[in-house]
Amino acid sequence: MTPRTQTPRAPHAPQTSPTSQTLEKQVTGATIWLTGLPSAGKTTIAYELANTLRAEGRKVEVLDGDEIREFLSAGLGFSREDRHTNVQRIGFLAELLARNGVLALVPVIAPYADSREAVRKRHQSGGTAYVEVHVATPVEVCSERDVKGLYAKQAAGEISGLTGVDDPYEAPESPDLRIESHQQTVQESAAALHALLTERGLTA
């Protein structure tokens, strides 16, 4: 019997592990949740910070509460249960973005402490960075600003369930950062938050 001639196989390419240079290029994402009363300045600060971070080359998304209500949480009302569901949906989306190297800025009221804590725990369980910011503008100042006319409508009896007026707002007891936007400019507020993120290694 004539032995079969075996065609020599090409050597396997050696398996390579990520080099230190590759690891250095990996970018850490995070969720930065700005909670506070309506017209506290959450969204304005978020967009100001987003502009700075983008100029530095960071991937940033602002998850605006009104847009989320329109496109992701359409049909939900403002009962405690619906507010909780809305916050959990936003938290899931933010964590997904953060896991993929995005800084997700979330200027959403999230009035209940247990809802915010559930979002934090979701991030912690996945090892995703989470920063809670309380934009601690007093209700009197918010009602004067009244960006969307909500306080005026509530006072006129046109709406009810306004957070901080005739619906509860549970302020964070120990946020990562508390911003008193009524005592400083938008730029100063955004800079304070940027400094915190830099301190935690989230802006590089």
Q: Which residues of 171-204 are buried (b: 16+ CB within 10 A; e: fewer)?
A: ebeebbbebbbbeeeeeebbebbbebbeeeebbe
**Is 38 annotated to bind ligand?**
yes
Of 93, 103, 96, 91, the C-alpha closest to 29 is 103
Total Cβ atoms within 10 A of residue 149: 12
Please check if 13 is assigned to a binding site: no
Structure tokens at 87: 């916050």
197 is in an annotated binding site: no
89 burial type by CB count under 10 A (0-12 exposed, 13-18 middle, 19+ buried) = middle
Residue 36 assigned as binding residue: yes
Q: Judge whether 37 is annotated as a binding position.
A: yes
Q: 40: annotated binding-site residue?
A: yes
Question: Binding site membership for ATP: which residues?
Answer: 36-43
Question: Binding site membership: which residues?
Answer: 36-43
